[in-house]
Amino acid sequence: MSKPLAPRDQVGVDFSSVDNVLALVRERGGRATSSRRILLEVLFDTDAHLSAEDLAAAVQARAPDVHLSTIYRNLDDLQRLGVIAHTHLGHGPSTYQLASLAHAHFICEECGAMIEAPDELFAGLARTAKDKLGFTIDPHHFAILGRCGACS
Amino acid sequence: MSKPLAPRDQVGVDFSSVDNVLALVRERGGRATSSRRILLEVLFDTDAHLSAEDLAAAVQARAPDVHLSTIYRNLDDLQRLGVIAHTHLGHGPSTYQLASLAHAHFICEECGAMIEAPDELFAGLARTAKDKLGFTIDPHHFAILGRCGACS
DNA sequence: TACCCAATTGCGAAGATGTCGCAAATGCCT
DNA sequence: AGGCATTTGCGACATCTTCGCAATTGGGTA
| pLDDT at B98 exceeding the cut of 80 | yes
Mean of pLDDT values over B131-140: 95
Residues paired with A117 in a beta bridge: A104
pLDDT digits (tens, 9 = 90+) for B25-79: 999 999 999 999 999 999 999 999 999 999 999 999 999 999 999 999 999 999 9
CATH of A103-146, one of 3.30.70.2860, 3.30.1490.190, 2.50.20.10, 3.30.70.20: 3.30.1490.190
Confidence tier at B87 by pLDDT (50, 70, 90): very high
Residue at B128: amino acid letter: T
What is the domain partition of chain B in residue ranges? 7-100, 103-146
Q: Which of residues 62-91 of A touch B (CB under 8 A)?
A: 88, 90
| pLDDT at B5 exceeding the cut of 80 | no
pLDDT below 70 — which residues of chain A? Answer: 1-13
CATH architecture of the domain with residue range B7-100: Orthogonal Bundle (1.10)
Does A103-146 match A11-100 at the fold level? no
Residue contact B137–A106, C-beta within 8 A: yes
Q: Stated in angstroms, how far is B26 CA from D3 C1'?
A: 19
pLDDT digits (tens, 9 = 90+) for A1-26: 544 444 444 545 678 899 999 999 99
Fold type of domain A11-100: Arc Repressor Mutant, subunit A (1.10.10)
| Closest-CA residue of chain B to A143 | B142
Q: Specify the pLDDT at position A1.
A: 59
